[in-house]
A and B are shown apart, each in its own frame.
Chain A
Amino acid sequence: MAATRAVPRAREIFNTLEYGPVPESHACALAWLDTLDRCLGHYVNGKWLKPEHRNSVPCQDPITGENLATCLQAQAEDVVAAAEASRTALENWSGVPGASRAQHLTRLAKMIQKHQRLLWTLESLVTGRAVREVRDRDIPLAQQLLQHYAVQAHTQEEALAGWEPMGVIGLILPPTFSFLEMMWRICPALAMGCTVVVLVPPASPTPLLLAQLAGELGPFPGILNMISGPASLGPVLASQPGVQKVAFCGAVEEGRALRRTLAGIGPELGLALGAESLLLLTETADVDSAVEGIVDAAWSDRSPGGLRLLIQESVWDETMRRLQARMGRLRSGRGLDGAVDMGVRGAAAYELAQRYVCEAQSQGAQVFQAGDVPLDSPFFPPTLVSDLPPASPCTQAEVPWPLVVASPFRTAKEALAMANGTPRGGSASVWCERLGQALELGYRLQMGTVWINAHGLRDPAVPTGGCKESGSSWHGGLDGLYEYLQPSGTPARLPYLSENMNYDTFGLAVPSTLPAGPETGPSPAPPYGLFVGGRFQAPGSRSSRPIQDSHGNLHGYVAEGGAKDIRGAVEAAHQAAPGWVSQSPGTRAALLWALAAALERRESTLALRLERQGVELKAAKAEVELSVRRLRAWGARAQTQGHYLQVTELRGPVLRLREPLGVLAIVCPDEWPLLAFVSLLALALAYGNTVVLVPSGTCPFPVLDVCQDMATLLPVGLVNVVTGDRDHLTRCLALHQDVQALWYFGSAQGSQFVEWASAGNLKPVWVNRGCPRAWDQEAKGTGPELELRAARTKSLWLPMGD
């Protein structure tokens, strides 16, 4: 350890020119802990809460093991108290003008500025991270976040008219992340008028200090409440009355478990999972700079996770030589030393890294470790793993801190296949000096953030999120705001948990159907079959289901779709996806307009179908007309997507891209059988998704009529319609690992099942919780909320300079 090395005199140093210790005094952190009698409780309603008879855990210096303080562990009743305080504060806080909230946030930013030394020494002391990183990056970024969102709050009434704050937000934080992760989420939530309960892991005093600073500002004490306790209290927090959203960041498996636990509980769930990043180094890269990018990504105490490194084979040797030489100059030591690159992360992170290294070695990998690392303590050296066989378990697993796992690739195409071939979709950087190739890779990487020739840049104005198993919530930028907003007038999210829900059997079996008499009525015979891969097909079950009209007479039969049909439909949609994504927005718009024209031609048939289901003819005609308008409206909006952002610390633009979700499954509501179908379909197609769709259960015929037009107008496989038992089809879709998003409008039970089952591949879901939606209203049918649902954001950073 640096501090205990014998101190050489100037003469000796003159000869060796070695680095010495540069200790940062942490006296002020200890003094702050003294003011709390070295006992940390919770911070609720502007006051410290130290309930009696609680378990406590020690807060230790991660290097010396010295006890710095004890931390009380929360129990359920403490969570109740915090949620209560947030609920009380909400009325006041969400009611004040945005300008006042802006002022309050600005004051908090100034408060942080005034006490920054306390913040950075405390954070570095307790977490073991290099003080340089906390001081030069985290603290300034925390202030920038507050200022950025203060501006957003100031203009909220104008810029975000039609939106209102969601309510009380629950935030669950993992033990290994910096306090900055909390700031990314509480700043937009507070700015928009939400109040927050944060569940911080035990022994993390920095968030508590921030809560205290915020609480001491005065008039709004209860807006930020901090509870220190285990993550197992998460479900308790989520089920508190008034909690409308739970934001979680942490490990993938924990997120998955939370998704399952919270199914049907009520609040929305925003997940940001995993910490691995990716770096792709092509043969035209500035290799030395890319090596610095690797250092930034893995060995700078910046990212909480490890790095997967893909190197083009032609520059493999050169890169390895440079990387290994660079690793030799890294310094690791006490976080509070001003001249180290890496601090420590505690015993758990150490063991995780050690286990990965041992397993990788046993699977045949080469492990290279280097750097100036103290031997006598929990320091883990910078580690480079290579030659890992492609199919070994370690290749699939998430790379832990502070490891870099390198693999070669031959062509850019292969690099994309490798990079996109993992369930993770967080962040990546591309190192490449050829503009065309760099953009190609940047656009086609399935990631939330891509940096070109840089790694790890962050800015409050840029949305950061992920796709696939990295979760689908965003922080930063406008997308970060919408996480905490809802369209005005949205009813409160209440639990809709079904007591007798059995996830194993829901929708498992299809009740058998029998012939139900002759088809009657004036309307033309509806088309029959599943619309899959551009044509009508017989269902795998070779059976049909009768559909009655509003008088109880048989209207017609639809095909009884099943698991195999869903599989076929999803495959067809996947095959159509690359073609549809690469279509220009103009082409998409043209096709939607052509479909609108076709609908117009079919108006009388469609109206008759609706009429037989009990809709008055006038209303039925109006529904068809409105459907036509919706198609045209979404077609027009397909042309205006994405924009670019100007960022403070970057020369060059950041592109905010809106990318399709992929293969999107839509279970249409029973109500508004034509309008809801058209609204959802047009929205999905406008944003480049391909669709597997289950039409209204009571009135599927108008959809099948439209399929006849889609067969001639749309590319094969773009839209697939499967009829049948809705619960069964929902089950198949929700459990399908290759369905990339799911919208469900049906029963409360079905919604709960969808939420539960989505944990499998963590697909984003949109469920109606059994509540009907007024599709004829503009806000509900074409509102901005829908646009947010239909695509995901990707940030592409393009630094410039020569």
Chain B
Amino acid sequence: MSAYNPGTELDLSWISKIQVNQPAVLRRAEQIQARRTVKKEWQAAWLLKAVTFIDLTTLSGDDTPSNVQRLCYKAKYPIREDLLKALNMHDKDITTAAVCVYPARVCDAVKALKAAGCTIPVASVATGFPAAQTHLKTRLQEIILAVEDGAMEIDVVINRTLVLTGQWEALYDEIRQFRKACGKAHLKTILATGELGSLTNVYKASMIAMMAGSDFIKTSTGKETVNATFPVAIVMLRAIRDFFWKTGNKVGFKPAGGIRSAKDSLAWLSLMKEELGEEWLKPELFRIGASTLLSDIERQIYHHVTGRYAAYHDLPMS
């Protein structure tokens, strides 16, 4: 990932007139899944592509060096070598896009990836993840420490209080400070859309986050009751397109939470393709935050190659 979103001055006129009609967005969300589908070789290729978008994630209280190490290994070798060979894809260096952990596990992950000899970036959540109900000072400190430990990407959560009380300037200022604290690391801003109250707020928060210089906007922490849903994604993608049309800067999108099946991942890919186009279908601009998705994709690839459904023990655990 190279380009950064420089952001813009805060311009509240970009969000003041916005209208989002929720029932219409829900209908679009239903349709999009029924209107596009891929089969056979196309499905296999799309699934492999989906692997390269995954931020392979573990965010648990019981994370230890050993399971982080296993995760990193899986990130480097996400699909069984023989399956890739069968598809003639073994030389494409297919890895996941990043590994995503808590700040305290960044060191473990960096070490493990180095040992595996690969350059997959480590992403760290920060800023009082997942609730963001801590002091701004400690939230900023958290970012700085994670970057020092070697995190290349920081997934910050926004302060929902500011959204729900309409303090858009304050939100912009906070994210600006996060951006500064990130330094060379990329800033991915989690909007926690399940707690924003309305789709209109989702649009506004997306636009503010992009104006403040986020390189990615991300749906959710995975810890809210409602996670990555299509209606929310449609609104965020429309905000990304509007921001691109206004500034020429491409901001990435990361749905996270609840994406578990290979079929889901295909739907997300076609959603990106339909709403933003092929140019957004690269790891620099699209990520899927997931932990169990990868194994389902591997099972589908197994089935595509062998014509059989895999047993649990046929594929390595992650």
Is chain B a partner of chain A in the same complex? yes
Contact of B36 among A19, A285, A431 (CB under 8 A): A19
Contact of B26 among A8, A17, A19, A801 (CB under 8 A): A801
- B19 and A285 within 8 A (CB): yes
| B-side contacts of A288, CB under 8 Å | 238
- B41 and A9 within 8 A (CB): yes
Contact of A341 among B28, B35, B87 (CB under 8 A): B35
Please name the residue on chain B nearest to A285 by beta carbon: B19
Q: Give Cα distance in the complex from A284 to B21, angstroms.
A: 11
- A339 and B38 within 8 A (CB): yes
Contact of B21 among A16, A22, A453 (CB under 8 A): A453
B44 CB within 8 Å of chain A:
yes
- A13 and B23 within 8 A (CB): no
B278 CB within 8 Å of chain A:
yes
B184 CB within 8 Å of chain A:
no
B74 CB within 8 Å of chain A:
no
Q: Give Cα distance in the complex from A19 to B36, angstroms.
A: 8
Interface of B is mostly: helix
- A7 and B41 within 8 A (CB): yes
- A433 and B21 within 8 A (CB): yes
- A14 and B49 within 8 A (CB): yes
Q: Give Cα distance in the complex from A479 to B42, angstroms.
A: 49
A454 CB within 8 Å of chain B:
yes
Interface residues of B in 53-96 (CB under 8 A from A): 87-89, 92
Please name the residue on chain A nearest to B24 by beta carbon: A289
| A-side contacts of B89, CB under 8 Å | 10-11, 14
- B41 and A286 within 8 A (CB): no
> What 1/0 flags go to A1-39 for Cβ under 8 Å of B?
000000111111110111111100000000000000000
| A-side contacts of B88, CB under 8 Å | 9-11
Shortest Cβ distance from residue B236 to the other chain A in the assembled complex, whole angstroms:
12
How many residues from B make CB contacts under 8 Å with A?
A: 39
- A329 and B274 within 8 A (CB): yes
A463 CB within 8 Å of chain B:
no
Q: Give Cα distance in the complex from A7 to B31, angstroms.
A: 27
Contact of A286 among B21, B26, B34, B245 (CB under 8 A): B21
Contact of A800 among B23, B38, B48 (CB under 8 A): B23
B247 CB within 8 Å of chain A:
no
- A20 and B26 within 8 A (CB): no
Q: Give Cα distance in the complex from A293 to B27, angstroms.
A: 10
A783 CB within 8 Å of chain B:
no
Q: Which 4 A-B pairs have the closest CB atoms?
A: A20-B42, A289-B24, A13-B45, A286-B21
- With A338-B37, A339-B38, A341-B35: A13-B46 Cβ-Cβ less than 8 Å: yes
Contact of A132 among B35, B39, B40 (CB under 8 A): B35
| Central interface residue in B34, B48, B273, B274, by most chain A CB within 10 Å | B34
Shortest Cβ distance from residue B316 to the other chain A in the assembled complex, whole angstroms:
22
| B-side contacts of A10, CB under 8 Å | 41, 44-45, 48, 87-89
| A-side contacts of B92, CB under 8 Å | 11, 14
B269 CB within 8 Å of chain A:
yes
B22 CB within 8 Å of chain A:
yes
Given contacts A18-B42, A800-B23, 16 further A-B contacts (CB under 8 A): A8-B41, A10-B44, A12-B45, A13-B41, A13-B45, A17-B273, A17-B278, A17-B281, A132-B34, A285-B19, A286-B19, A329-B273, A453-B24, A799-B24, A801-B26, A802-B22
Q: Give Cα distance in the complex from A564 to B291, angstroms.
A: 82
How many residues from A make CB contacts under 8 Å with B?
A: 41
Q: Give Cα distance in the complex from A599 to B37, angstroms.
A: 72
Q: Give Cα distance in the complex from A799 to B42, angstroms.
A: 37
> How many residue pairs at the A-B interface have CB separations less than 8 Å?
102
B136 CB within 8 Å of chain A:
no
- A799 and B273 within 8 A (CB): no
A738 CB within 8 Å of chain B:
no
Please name the residue on chain A nearest to B20 by beta carbon: A286
Interface residues of A in 748-802 (CB under 8 A from B): 799-802
B104 CB within 8 Å of chain A:
no
B133 CB within 8 Å of chain A:
no
- A19 and B38 within 8 A (CB): yes
- B42 and A136 within 8 A (CB): no
A47 CB within 8 Å of chain B:
no
- B40 and A20 within 8 A (CB): yes
Please name the residue on chain A nearest to B38 by beta carbon: A20
| B-side contacts of A20, CB under 8 Å | 38-42
- A292 and B38 within 8 A (CB): no
- B23 and A17 within 8 A (CB): no
B145 CB within 8 Å of chain A:
no
A521 CB within 8 Å of chain B:
no
Shortest Cβ distance from residue B87 to the other chain A in the assembled complex, whole angstroms:
5
| A-side contacts of B42, CB under 8 Å | 13, 18-20
A413 CB within 8 Å of chain B:
no
Shortest Cβ distance from residue A49 to the other chain B in the assembled complex, whole angstroms:
39
B198 CB within 8 Å of chain A:
yes
Shortest Cβ distance from residue B281 to the other chain A in the assembled complex, whole angstroms:
5
A579 CB within 8 Å of chain B:
no
| A-side contacts of B277, CB under 8 Å | 329
| A-side contacts of B39, CB under 8 Å | 20-22, 338
Shortest Cβ distance from residue A370 to the other chain B in the assembled complex, whole angstroms:
13
- A801 and B22 within 8 A (CB): yes
| B-side contacts of A341, CB under 8 Å | 35
- B28 and A652 within 8 A (CB): no
A110 CB within 8 Å of chain B:
no
A355 CB within 8 Å of chain B:
no
Please name the residue on chain B nearest to A288 by beta carbon: B238
- B24 and A433 within 8 A (CB): no
- A454 and B27 within 8 A (CB): yes
- Could you list 15 examples of A-B contacts with CB < 8 Å? A9-B88, A10-B87, A11-B87, A13-B45, A14-B92, A17-B49, A18-B42, A20-B42, A289-B25, A292-B27, A321-B245, A339-B35, A339-B36, A339-B38, A433-B19
Q: Give Cα distance in the complex from A21 to B41, angstroms.
A: 10
Q: Give Cα distance in the complex from A799 to B27, angstroms.
A: 11
| A-side contacts of B31, CB under 8 Å | 292
| A-side contacts of B21, CB under 8 Å | 285-286, 289, 431, 433, 453
- B25 and A14 within 8 A (CB): no
Shortest Cβ distance from residue A371 to the other chain B in the assembled complex, whole angstroms:
12
Q: Give Cα distance in the complex from A19 to B37, angstroms.
A: 8
Q: Give Cα distance in the complex from A281 to B45, angstroms.
A: 40
- With A10-B89, A17-B46, A433-B19: A339-B37 Cβ-Cβ less than 8 Å: yes
Q: Give Cα distance in the complex from A11 to B92, angstroms.
A: 9
